[in-house]
Structure 1
Amino acid sequence: MEKTDFDAIVVGSGPNGLAAAIALQEVGLSVLLLEAKDTIGGGLRTKELTLPGFQHDVCSAIHPLAARSPYFQTLPLADHGLEYIYPEVAAAHPFDNGTAAALTQSLTQTAQSLGKDEKAYLKLIKGLVQDWPQLANTVLGPLQFPKNPVAMAQFGLKAMAPATTLANLYFSTPEARGLWAGMAAHSIQPLTRMTTSAIGLVLMAQAHLHGWPLPKGGSQSIANALASYFTSLGGKIETNFEVKSLAQLPSSKAVLFDMTPKQLLQIAGHTFSSVYKWQLERYQYGLGVFKIDWALSGPIPFTAPECRKAGTVHLGNTLEEITAAEQMTWDGKHPEKPFVLLAQQSVFDAFRAPKGQHTAWAYCHVPHGSTVDMTAAIENQVERYAPGFKDLILARHTMNTHQIEAYNPNYIGGDINGGVINLSQLFTRPALRSSPYRTSVKGLYLCSSSTPPGGGVHGMCGYYAADRALRDIFNLKAKPLP
């Protein structure tokens, strides 16, 4: 094989880029990881965005899939400084009457708290919790024949359904229906669309299996641990290296891109076949987000005690209200009462704020590319369930979709999922091919969340892309998953 500067180059140091680089380096290749910014991490960065001493997660914050990712579990990340904190309540969902539904690690406790819907909740989720160890590698991977076809079929029938359909089939109480709506809304689509149940089911199962942890010290801690392990294996990282053309890269046998189709086309589109280029140009991006970080003088005074114990709080009241808000957003409007996803990391991690003070992190969905300021709408939603919240605000930092994309070019139009995860892009993102990670040019691969299984901090897109490159180019295989 021809001598090159590196065996492989990975462009982009988000969780998938880091995972791909590690998977390649672990089997003895020489790997260079390039990052355009001055720090590694992509969506895994923590900064003082508001006031000195207040550490805010710039993008991702709570990580249901990271701690138990099939690939990350194989890595000695604890030895490289990564520690997870597990809130007592994974996620809480408050209502206007001052009560809240709570998703905890205990399946029994969660089900019992839903009253008349106890049996229905168990019927919906218990089987998935029991089967998840056999399903994880299949669900969090490219389209493949499952190890347990029966369990996968049972999951698939529910996962493919619209979230509103499952809600009507299973739940009668506002508590269960609201809790479910908040979970399914992570799909960032109208809840009446097919496949919106998939993410809700997976997130609920993760809570019962392992909780929804947050990394001690901030999301940057995950990136730092991954980078530390990568360099301990001999890998090389270069920051402040923005790749705009293939000609900039040192010589290598394989290049893996942790970016979306839009950037890939700009860099290498001229080398692609007309069919592959056409497919990438048709790739669909989804809704954006408007995000706020707050420096607070005290903890958020939620009325419902369950919310004060939760790492994540979903603000949107009933299924019907959340469904309406998400549909309005999809239709290009900005709801007065948006569905808000909120995290309160400093309640559990003292590193995040000066003693006695706190941080909070929240976002709502907005139309793709929106520049509308949603600060008042989001803060009104928090105040709705935590009277007195606004009085605690010391400072805030906001990001609209343009600012989010400028910060991380993978977030096209503010889309944090790397593209819509709808029926046509669930397993075949970004194009219908024998392998979604291959481009039409030998040696060039895509390893971002624009490939299966999509968004989230789990590294599985990077792992599977690296495995594909190893098999194609080097006649090797990535380290097997458990």
Structure 2
Amino acid sequence: MPVSTVDAVVIGAGPNGLVAANALADAGWDVVLVEGNDEVGGAVRSAEVTAPGFVTDLFSAFYPLAAASPIIRDLHLEEHGLVWRRAPHVLAHALDDGSAALLCSRVEDTAAGLDAESPGDGEAWLELVRGWDRIRDPLLDALFTPFPPVASATRMVRRLGAADTLDFARLAVTPARRLGQERFSGQGAGLLLTGNAMHTDVAPDAAGSGMFGWLLCMLCQDVGFPVPEGGAGELAQALRRRAESRGVKVLTGIRVAAVTTSGARATGVRLADGTILRATRGVLADVPATTLYRDLLADQPLPARLRRDLDRFQWDNGTIKVNWALDQPVPWTAEAARGAGTVHLGVDQDGFVDFAADLSVGRTPERPFLLFGQMTTSDPTRSPDGTESAWAYTHVPHGTDWSGDRLADHVHRMEDAIERVAPGFRDSQVARHVQSPGDLESENPSLVGGAINAGTSGLHQQLVFRPTPGLGRPETPVSGLYLAGASAHPGGGVHGACGWNAARAVLGANGRMTGGARRLLARTAWDRLLRSE
């Protein structure tokens, strides 16, 4: 049986795995990155699947978190071929009556549009942005660093003061729908806040949804919704090129069958072909928590409480994604939607609630909420002149068999929703490519049942509850093994933080960084789990 020895093995070459490999290589470690697919990127990949010359982002497409992430920024991927492109406008919400709320690249323009609908709403929007500007850096640090984020939280409190800290804490748990009602008299700002909150699986009337909506809206005003020139895959390829330039060995088309252990410590991995990769310092797994503990550690005894908590692990909703090659730009009724890279559509404010209720009870939404991407509008290299490479996705109940007539009927509902706000859309189609939840999982096994965030974003499975209660960190009960995927804090999105935090943890455990107190906290959490046996 072939055996190789390295400092660290990273399982999975999604963005988190790629970031982790880069971080370890920067520390001078000998790293092997193993990816089961033929290409790196995980949910950050692109291909021509509709028609020749039309580039489609197969999973994710717009990357505000990547553009804002200090982790991604400090990798200087522009030196490795990454070019960001942006649409004239960031985002629009198109309504069936032909109107649209518009989030512009310039905050002053967004405010002016909101004020034109309802005087005073522009100033209320500017107030939200001023609050963002005040705490932007420590907030992003808090979001992207291991829990608890003591230093960054302290900086936030100092900037805000006691009274404003309480106001911000209230905003963080306010439902998105309520946040819009409290702050604005018109409907436009509420549509923008709630639509952005619905990028997660948190209902618009649920605690915490306002924080998601506010955060994405503020990122819209700060960095926009940028896309990599040439396709989403270019972001992954830039990460790969950087890693390889620092000595990382990338193996693709090779599946990891198991994490090998000795005496409750990870010693490496066994590949599907029987090859053993020994890791003298650590194994980092950019996979869902359930995959790590139930599949890759199938033969490893685990704490009873952890096994019980995994039984309660909740996935986020499934996803149906449809990709189109169009022979012309989308014929939106609302002029404001024509220059927006992202368009929300299908529902109004009350429709958000109905849509979320359908998902909550496992019912097929009759009027789905859609996120629509105009990729050529954002990046002219995506399709021939005068055409549009477009996609839309909608969430559906997790665990349902989305195939056959059920899938076809829902795709028809999606196109009906677009046709209501862009009459003639169907006539402009050159080709169409449909991805069901099962297709998404087949193409990327980390998207279990079409869940794109590796577990619900609900408060009961965030922070110290992610992926299971008491953790909130990348360490696992197996010494030398780290969870580096989006099931770990801070969760889904292309920001690299899950991989970076895992890399920091393994470096710290090997004496390459400070942070003894944080490591002690992680050990204490696991000690509580072990004592509960």
Q: TM-score, normalised by structure 1?
A: 0.95
Contact 1:95 1:317 in 2 (8 A): yes
How far did 1:359 drift?
A: 1.0
With 219-228 and 428-437 compared, the bigger mean Cα shift is at: 428-437
1:141-173 CA deviation, whole Å, 9 max, x = no partner?
333221424246544321222212212222221
Taking a change above 3 Å as real, the CA distance of residues 456 and 243 of structure 1, as seen in their structure-2 partners, is same
- Give the match for residue 89 of structure 1: 89
- Give the distance between the partners of 2:284 and 2:312, measured in 1 at CA: 21
SS of alignment partner, residue 113 of structure 1: helix
The superposition leaves residues 319-378 of structure 1 with CA deviations (integer Å, 9 ceiling, x where unpaired) of 111221122122211222111001011123232123332210110110003303121111
| Correspondence 1:320-399 to 2 at 5 A | 320-370=350-400, 371=402, 372-373=406-407, 374-399=410-435
Moved more, 147-156 or 344-353: 147-156
Give the CA deviation at 1:434: 5.2
**8 Å contact 1:447–1:462 — kept in the other structure?**
yes
What residue in structure 1 maps to residue 477 of structure 2?
Answer: 440
Distance 1:316 1:130 in 2: 34
User: Which residue matches 1:408?
Assistant: 444
Match of 2:297 among 254, 260, 268: 268
Question: What is the CA–CA distance in structure 2 between the aligned matches of 1:316 and 1:177, rounded to whole Å?
Answer: 15
* Counterpart check, 1:456 vs 2:493: yes
Which digits, 9 at most, give the CA deviation of each residue in 1:48-106, with x for residues without a partner?
11122211000000111112211011112111110001212110111223221111232
Please tell me whether the aligned partners of residues 256 and 445 of structure 1 are also in contact (alpha carbons under 8 angstroms).
yes
Secondary structure (helix, strand or coil) at the match of 2:342 reads: strand
1:250 corresponding residue in structure 2: 277
The match for 1:165 is: 178
Alignment of 1:469 onto 2:506: yes
Normalising by structure 2, we get a TM-score of 0.86
Kept in 1, the 8 Å contact 2:88–2:378? The answer is no
Aligned length: 476
Q: Specify the SS of the correspondent of 1:9.
A: strand
The one of 120, 124, 146 equivalent to 2:128 is: 124
Which residue of structure 2 aligns with residue 99 of structure 1? 99
Given the alignment of the two structures, is residue 176 of structure 1 paired with residue 189 of structure 2, yes or no?
Answer: yes
Q: Does the 8 Å contact 1:257/1:446 carry over to 2?
A: yes
The DSSP-based 3-state class of the residue aligned with 1:368 is: coil
Instruction: Indicate which of 279, 296, 307 corresponds to 1:277.
Output: 307
Output aligned runs, 1:43-62, within 5 Å: 43-62=43-62
- Counterpart AA for 1:251: R
Distance in 1 between the 2:241 and 2:168 partners?
A: 37
- The unaligned stretches of length 5 or more in structure 2 are 261-269, 271-275, 516-533
Is 1:142–1:427's contact at 8 Å kept on the other side of the alignment?
A: no
Moved more, 353-362 or 15-24: 353-362
Shift in CA distance, 172/435, structure 1 to aligned 2, threshold 3 Å: closer
CA contact (8 A) 1:94 1:101 kept: yes
* Equivalent residue, structure 2, for 1:74: 74
Pick closer, same or farther for the CA change 1:266–1:292 going to 2, 3 Å.
same
Select the structure of larger CA radius of gyration: 2
- Letter aligned with residue 250 of structure 1: L
Q: Does 1:236 align with 2:249?
A: yes
Say which is worse superposed, 459-468 or 186-195, in terms of deviation.
186-195
Q: Is the 8 A contact 2:96 2:346 kept in 1?
A: no
**Is contact 2:398-2:451 (8 Å) kept?**
yes
